[in-house]
Structure 1
Amino acid sequence: MYYQNKVVWITGASSGIGEALAYALNKKGARLILSARREQELERVKKNCSGNPEDILVLPLDLTESDLFSEKTAEAKTHFGGVDILINNGGISQRAYALEADMASIRHLMEINFFGAIALTKAVVPAMIERGHGHVVVISSVMGKFGTRYRSAYAASKHALHGWFDCLRQEVQKDGIDVSIVCPGYVKTNVTKNALKADGTKLNEMGDAHKKAMSPDEFAEKLLPKLSAGKQEIYIGGKEIAAVYLKRFFPKLLNKILMRSKVT
């Protein structure tokens, strides 16, 4: 019953994990705000949901346009009266060597993955505090706990999310606000196809590990019970999750393993 009639705002809702979360939450009776850049795809996701169409608001949003977030938040409040759960899911990956990636592509990735998430959170959370409850969720990655070749800016953006949202949790817990950081392993989405190469263009290739990964629907079904239980940090994936613990207890061993691993 945790999600029944809750207003849940999902960024990156037009595909992948965000789309799967929309369907899973819709089945649990949540009211949804669907955000991403592609309005037509958001409308498709809405049509695939059941129930009253008024319980789903399509709210196009570009995470690089943070100056519009106050306006978008006001639209959400006008439609639903408030937001109970914010899921910061929108993001982009990278496949480029650290010394070869141009600064424009690095800044673009950070703008989407880090600055976009914290700017939207800053726009939404004050109203949660006024109401005395709320839940902020950020979809990070196992790359928020360690790093591999080809993903320097991506890993940096996820590490930054952990630092900022860990601090936020300590500041707003007294106000009835929960903060959950979710670290997926490999999930079968287009994240690799959309990853930025060194010059900022898209890779347009599916990563080998993602081809065999769990589906976004399976990920969503595993995630929702953990969120409703109020878990602060959540790991969902396959054997790659073990790397989180190797990093903590045996960092040199993990480095040796990763140096010998195919990380595309």
Structure 2
Amino acid sequence: MNFKGKTIWIIGASSGIGKALSVDFARQKARLILSSRNVDELETVKGMCLNFTDDCSVIPLDLEDNSDYTPLVAEVINRYNIIDYLIVNGGISQRSLVHETPLKIDRRLMEVNYFGNIAITKAVLPKMIRQKSGHIVVVSSIVGKFGFPLRSAYSASKHALHGFYETLRAEHKNDNIKVTIAIPGRVRTNISYNALKKDGSRHQQSLV
């Protein structure tokens, strides 16, 4: 596929898969909008991207604070006029047993991984409907297809994404809007390190 000149908004662009995608799209001369809540890391990624593309901007976005993303979408549209791709990649993982995990941890995982992701999608969707084009990519996980120990709420949040985005694809097939659910397996990123334990603290171990 040719991404030169395409406007691509990447949620969760400050690290891991989102960071790698940002640099790769920059190499292909895409116009990039980078979002996450870690502004310092976003600026670092932006600097990397500007080695390859002339058009890369940072818009801070917190998936846990998801009540209204309309102003952020308006900011993107005002600058770029079109959103060709929305890549929804942000989230947090988990490392705790079901019977030891307080409900507040389950709620937080759902708030970020499910509600945050669908909230930004719902905010962008009207623009894609009006422009009669667009491609939404949500990054799920293999645990969105199968349950896995120590990841009950994380797995549930990813299963929920599958139901939502499969429905979205069916509802907008006649609007020239494509929906892709990416299902990576184990990846060497900081998602394991930042996974929530039963007390809400970080797991602080990689690939475990």
Residue 62 in structure 1 maps to residue 68 in structure 2: no
Q: Is the 8 A contact 1:102 1:200 kept in 2?
A: no
1:59 and 1:42 map into 2 onto residues whose CA distance is 9
Please list every run of at least 4 consecutive aligned residues from structure 1 whose deviation after the TM superposition is greater than 2 angstroms: 50-53
- Partner residue, 1:82: 82
1:51 and 1:157 map into 2 onto residues whose CA distance is 35
2:79 and 2:65 map into 1 onto residues whose CA distance is 21
- Count the aligned residue pairs: 207
Structure with larger Rg: 1
- Partner residue, 1:15: 15
- 1:59-208 equivalence runs, <5 A: 59-207=59-207
Q: CA deviation at 1:51?
A: 4.3
1:173 and 1:2 map into 2 onto residues whose CA distance is 22
1:103 and 1:197 map into 2 onto residues whose CA distance is 12
Could you say what the CA RMSD is over the residues aligned between the two structures, in angstroms? 1.0
Q: 1:191 to 1:52 in 2, by over 3 A?
A: closer
TM-superposition CA deviations, 1:16-40 (whole Å, max 9, x none): 1000000001111111010001111
Q: 1:71 to 1:35 in 2, by over 3 A?
A: same
Q: CA deviation at 1:67?
A: 2.3
Q: Which runs of 5 or more residues in structure 1 are unaligned? A: 208-263
1:38 and 1:190 map into 2 onto residues whose CA distance is 13
Give TM-score scaled by structure 2 length: 0.97
Secondary structure of the structure 2 residue equivalent to 1:184: coil
Residue 2 in structure 1 maps to residue 41 in structure 2: no
Secondary structure of the structure 1 residue equivalent to 2:32: strand
Q: CA deviation at 1:148?
A: 1.3
Q: Is the 8 A contact 1:86 1:135 kept in 2?
A: yes
Q: Which runs of 5 or more residues in structure 2 are unaligned? A: none
Q: Is the 8 A contact 2:195 2:204 kept in 1?
A: yes
- 1:192-231 equivalence runs, <5 A: 192-207=192-207
1:41 and 1:29 map into 2 onto residues whose CA distance is 21
Q: CA deviation at 1:126?
A: 0.9
2:191 and 2:66 map into 1 onto residues whose CA distance is 22
Give TM-score scaled by structure 1 length: 0.77
TM-superposition CA deviations, 1:30-65 (whole Å, max 9, x none): 110100011111111011112454x11100000011
Secondary structure of the structure 2 residue equivalent to 1:138: strand
Q: Is the 8 A contact 2:194 2:202 kept in 1?
A: yes
1:112 and 1:19 map into 2 onto residues whose CA distance is 19
2:102 and 2:113 map into 1 onto residues whose CA distance is 17
- 1:40-55 equivalence runs, <5 A: 40-49=40-49, 50-51=51-52, 53=54, 55=55
2:59 and 2:53 map into 1 onto residues whose CA distance is 17
Structure with the higher helix share, 1 or 2: 1
Q: 1:52 to 1:2 in 2, by over 3 A?
A: closer
Q: CA deviation at 1:2?
A: 2.6
Amino acid at match of 2:145: K
Amino acid at match of 1:156: A
